[in-house]
Amino acid sequence: MNPTFNRLLQTRLGRLTLTVALVVLAACGDSGTEPVAMPDPEPEPPPPVAATTATYRVVFEATWSASTHPTNFPGGAHFSPLIGAVHKAGVTFWARDGIATPGVESMAETGGTSTLTAEIQAQIPGNALAVVNGSGIRSPGSTTIQAITLREEFPLVTLVTMIAPSPDWFVGVSGLSLRDDEGNWIEELEVVLYPYDAGTDSGPNYTSANDDTQPKEPIHSLRGESPFSDQPIGTFTFARTDG
């Protein structure tokens, strides 16, 4: 097409559009009603981009009690201080069917956190972002960790606490991802907790004397195994606070 004619055509079309718009506005005015502004066209939504960090509140609700686990329920029932990490898949601090590290053994047998803390700190900054700490509590009861912050490179949480008194029993999560399959941060996640045996002490009851397991056995579930019933021990709820 002739370029000059093309520009002329575009200019005329532009004027024509403007003229039609003015006529429409004038028509509205004539009818005695206020002209209605046409809404701007919807802007294209930007492609979704997951935030690079996310902060969560963690609530540990302990339901381990004489009513949920009646067999030989001990006096002074409590949970040791929560201990864990924000980390990536490059490290696992404990796993079902795995052998307990000295830090997990100490946590599960005594509630002590110093050895496991050192194991976590040894993974910072390469595989872990931070140590997570929380209070111990009587059971039943609840405690809250006000804020843990994850990064997209460190989207996993490991968190444990000793069932006390007990030989080597604990509850917790290992390498729990707070991102969904599409890489978005999960708004809220409740994890139902069942008891584990760390495989490091062979005592059969809550208040059994120390009986070191040699060699260590794999970490295994005690759900439904005496003295536990089939009921949960409690829940962890991770709720995003900056979403």
Of the pair 119, 197, the CB lying nearest Ca ion is at 197
Report the candidate in 225, 176, 175 with the shortest Cα–Cα distance to residue 196.
Answer: 225
State in angstroms the smallest separation of the CB of 96 from Ca ion.
14
240 close to 54: Cβ distance less than 8 angstroms: yes
| Binding flag, residue 105, Ca ion (CB under 5 A) | no
Distance of CA 62 to the CA centre of its chain: 17
State in angstroms the smallest separation of the CB of 211 from Ca ion.
8
The secondary structure of residue 210, as a DSSP letter, is P
State in angstroms the smallest separation of the CB of 243 from Ca ion.
40
State in angstroms the smallest separation of the CB of 217 from Ca ion.
7
Of the pair 105, 197, the CB lying nearest Ca ion is at 197
Site pattern 131..170 for Ca ion (x: CB under 5 A): -------------------------------------x--
Of the pair 32, 215, the CB lying nearest Ca ion is at 215
- DSSP letters for 91-142: --S--TTSPPPHHHHHHHHH---HHHHHHHHTTTTTTEEEEEE---EESSEE
State in angstroms the smallest separation of the CB of 171 from Ca ion.
14
Of the pair 152, 225, the CB lying nearest Ca ion is at 225
Mark 77-114 as b/e (b = at least 16 C-beta within 10 Å).
bbbbbbbbbbbbeebebbeeeebbbebbbbbbbebbbe
Site pattern 166..205 for Ca ion (x: CB under 5 A): --x----------------------------x---x----
Tokens matching residue 91 = 């490290």
Contacting residues toward Ca ion, per CB under 5 A: 168, 197, 201
